[in-house]
Every structure is written in C-alpha cells, then in structure tokens.
C-alpha cells in the first residue's frame, strides 16, 4: 500500500518532530542515552531541579507509551509487521554484552543514535558528525562480523 | 507544562521509531549488514529515517533555535536552551562511539528502541536494558575518575 521508503521517511519525520519540539518548547536535546542517565542519576544542571520526577521520566514514559499503544494502529494502517524480538534472544550472553557496550559507549561518547545522529548532526555539530560516522562504521563492521 | 511536552515528544519520537523500522532489530541488522549487498538483500530504508529526521530538525534549528540562542532568548517553556557546550573531538568521543557501534551491530538495538520495545516486557529486552543501564553506570564512573574524560561530561 505504501512504499517502505515513504513509511521510513514518515517515521523519520516523526522522530525529527519529537526531537525538535523538545528543543523548541523545552530547550532540551532528545538524546535517549543522556535522558536515561539524567532520569536515573540526574543531569549536571539538575541541582536546582524541582522536586518530583524529572522531565526525563516523562519523555521515557512517552517512549514506553508509544511502544505499548501504537503497535496495533501502525499495523492496521501501514501493514507493518509486529516487531519480532526472537532475532535478538537467541544468545543471552551476546545480548548482555551488546547491552553493556551500548550503555558504556554512549556514556563515554556522550550520546547515541538520537543525540548525535539526529540532534547533533541536525545542529551541524562537528563532534556529533564524527561520533555518527564512527558508530555507523563500527556498527556496519560489527553487523557484518556477527551476522 | 514541560513534563506534558516531554511526554508528548516521547510519544511522537517513539511512534516515529516504530514506523521507521528503527525499533525492529532485524530491520536494523538488515541495514547495517552491508554484506547483504552481494546477494541483493540489503535493506537501505533506514537511510530514509535519518534523512526524514534531519529534514525536520536541521532547518528548524538553523532558522529558529540558533538565532534565538545567539540573541540569548530561550525556548517557550524555559529560560534558556540547554545545548551541549563541548566542542573538542577527543578520545572519549571516538572510543565511546566505537564501543556503542560495536554493541549496536551485534543485536541491532540502540537506546531509544530498547525503551520503546521495553513496553512489551519481553525478557530479552528487559535483560538488554538492565545490561545497558549497568554499562551506562560504569561509563559514568569512568567519566568522573579518568583524567582523560573528567572534564567531558555533557
């Protein structure tokens, strides 16, 4: 019904909209690794933060909510197949090593696909452009080796 | 209001990840595994995700946020924009991004999709997120203790 390229492009537009609205309205960067770390351990500028859950928890809640409620409508409208996670569950050690590397790498490298790849490249930040090139190349090498 | 905005942006962002296929590990591996080009099975659609995201983010940043930030104006619901202040392309940036890429290519999950997929409470995804948080904690401690990275927290 819809070309897979058009669907992917629309998905990207939604991701970009979510990210730029967070910046336009709240002045925040939509980097998921940074938001997760900020939610769990506070961000560096959070000393003056108001009581209660930080804004980061609400953004993460939004991500969870989309995962919980949007699967069925997207399947009905765009014919998207439900996400099959069995491909990731075949090797638990690999899953755990991958998780640790993703968490560690994003913490040391100050960002992930969203923070560097969309928000950073979208600000033409040289740091983020370098980071994105590095994790894309490493991701390609790793995927070729492991699959 | 900031929290409602954050929730709404999270839903938009997560829906975009699902619609684009970035939340589907099999699709991500089908893109990253360029050896599939040899058999003609390589899936380039994820290139369109980044293009779509940047097509929205880049012009609005350059036309609205950047001039406002330079004029010391803030976003709608805050006094100032919280933009990263670091400029140096240093070892932690490159090493950290390389480790992240290595982990990403193994399974095909990065932090955003891991949280979106956590909604189903499948055991593999729960394990992945726990491991990711452990890794992030280790990285945070390293950033604080190693002299190389001590000044580079964003």
ipTM of the complex: 0.93
Rounded Cα distance between B90 and A20, Å, is 27
Are A127 and B117 in contact (CB < 8 Å)?
Answer: no
How far is Cα B75 from Cα B79, in angstroms, rounded to an integer?
7
A46-70 tens-digit pLDDT: 554 556 789 999 999 999 999 999 9
Write out pLDDT tens, residues A21-42.
999 999 999 999 999 999 999 8
Instruction: Kindly determine whether residue B82 and residue A29, on different chains, have CB atoms separated by under 8 Å.
Output: yes
Neighbours of B150 (CB within 10 A): 12
> Which of 92-131 (A) contact B at CB < 8 A?
92, 94-114, 116-127, 130-131
Which pLDDT does position A91 carry in this prediction? 86
Percent helix, strand, coil in chain B, to 5, is: 70, 0, 30
Phi, psi of A81 (to 5 degrees): -70, 145
CB B18 within 8 A of CB A136: no
- The answer to whether A82 and B24 are in contact (CB under 8 A) is no
Q: Count structural domains, chain A.
A: 1
| Domain coverage including residue A32 | 4-146
């Amino acid at each position: 019904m819809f070309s897979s390229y058009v669907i992917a492009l629309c998905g990207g537009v939604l991701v970009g909209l979510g990210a730029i609205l967070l910046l336009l309205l709240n002045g925040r960067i939509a980097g998921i690794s940074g938001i997760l770390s900020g939610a769990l351990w506070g961000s560096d500028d959070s000393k003056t933060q108001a009581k209660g859950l930080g804004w980061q928890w609400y953004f993460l809640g939004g991500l969870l909510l989309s995962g919980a409620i949007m699967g069925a409508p997207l399947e009905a409208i765009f014919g998207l197949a439900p996400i099959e996670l069995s491909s990731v569950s075949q090797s638990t050690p690999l899953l755990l090593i991958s998780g640790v590397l993703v968490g560690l790498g994003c913490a040391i490298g100050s960002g992930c696909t969203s923070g560097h790849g969309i928000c950073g490249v979208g600000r033409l930040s040289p740091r983020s452009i370098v980071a994105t090139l590095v994790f894309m190349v490493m991701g390609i090498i790793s995927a070729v080796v492991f699959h | 209001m900031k929290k409602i905005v954050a929730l709404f942006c999270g839903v938009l962002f997560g829906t975009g990840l699902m619609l684009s296929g970035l939340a589907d590990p099999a699709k991500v591996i089908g893109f990253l595994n360029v050896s599939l080009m040899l058999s003609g099975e390589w899936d380039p659609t994820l290139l369109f995700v980044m293009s779509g995201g940047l097509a929205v983010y880049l012009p609005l940043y350059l036309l609205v946020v950047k001039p406002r930030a330079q004029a010391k104006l803030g976003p709608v619901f805050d006094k100032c924009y919280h933009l990263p202040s670091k400029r140096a392309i240093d070892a932690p940036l490159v090493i950290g991004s390389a480790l992240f890429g290595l982990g990403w290519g193994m399974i095909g999950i990065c932090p955003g999709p891991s949280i979106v997929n956590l909604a189903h409470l499948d055991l593999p995804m729960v394990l992945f997120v726990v491991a990711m948080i452990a890794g992030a904690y280790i990285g945070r401690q390293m950033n604080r203790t190693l002299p190389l990275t001590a000044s580079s927290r964003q």
